[in-house]
Amino acid sequence: MEKCLWGVERIKSEVAVPVLRVALERHRGNRAYMQIMATLINFGATDLVGLAVSELASRRVQNGREKYSEGNLARAVCGAVDGDHWRMLAPLVSHPNVLVRRAVFERLREMRLPESAPELAAGLDDTDLHVQYLAGMTLVEIWKPPGDLAPGVGVFAEEREKCVEAWKALAREHGVYPPRAR
């Protein structure tokens, strides 16, 4: 099935979308389901974005291949979500799969919306270095504070705790840290 999906993705024809919608129904509940849904969203089937977010928020997979499929679906969802609908991503900020969280924080950084500051502040407590960096740098880019709170990746890797504490202090100043349960 996976090889078939890659072939269909290359076709990108009007025929592919109806065929994939039929396949989506047939493969509900397995890994192919997430791959098919990601492909459909990438083809512009934005009506599936809400379903995909619900699917991601409710899944708790353990094996590596399914985590990879979740990451693909999250990237497709994030690519389809615009600034007016960014709140759809909020349930995925604390997702157990780091690939999903990274996709969400990458999209939040691209959008740089001040109203996403509470979700970004939650990323400062993440266990993943990449998520913490994206969250902190986005807050700095949104608020543009005085001082040097925008370290390069190398400096951040060496002085992670110091940088995160500075970003948390900035978030406290703006009233979004510690994150509140939503």
From CA 158, how far away is CA 147, in angstroms rounded?
19
User: Collapsing DSSP states into helix, strand and coil, what is residue 35?
Assistant: helix
**Average model confidence (pLDDT) across the chain:** 90
- Given a cut of 90, whether residue 113 has pLDDT beyond it is yes
**Residue type for position 114:** P
- Given a cut of 70, whether residue 86 has pLDDT beyond it is yes
Structural domain boundaries of the chain? 1-111, 114-182
E strand or H helix that includes residue 41? helix 31-42
Q: What is the pTM of this model?
A: 0.89
- Given a cut of 90, whether residue 155 has pLDDT beyond it is yes
CB neighbours of residue 54 within 10 Å: 12
- pLDDT tens-digit readout, 24-82: 999 987 778 999 999 999 999 999 999 999 999 997 766 888 888 999 999 999 999 99
From CA 90, how far away is CA 170, in angstroms rounded?
21
From CA 37, how far away is CA 58, in angstroms rounded?
15
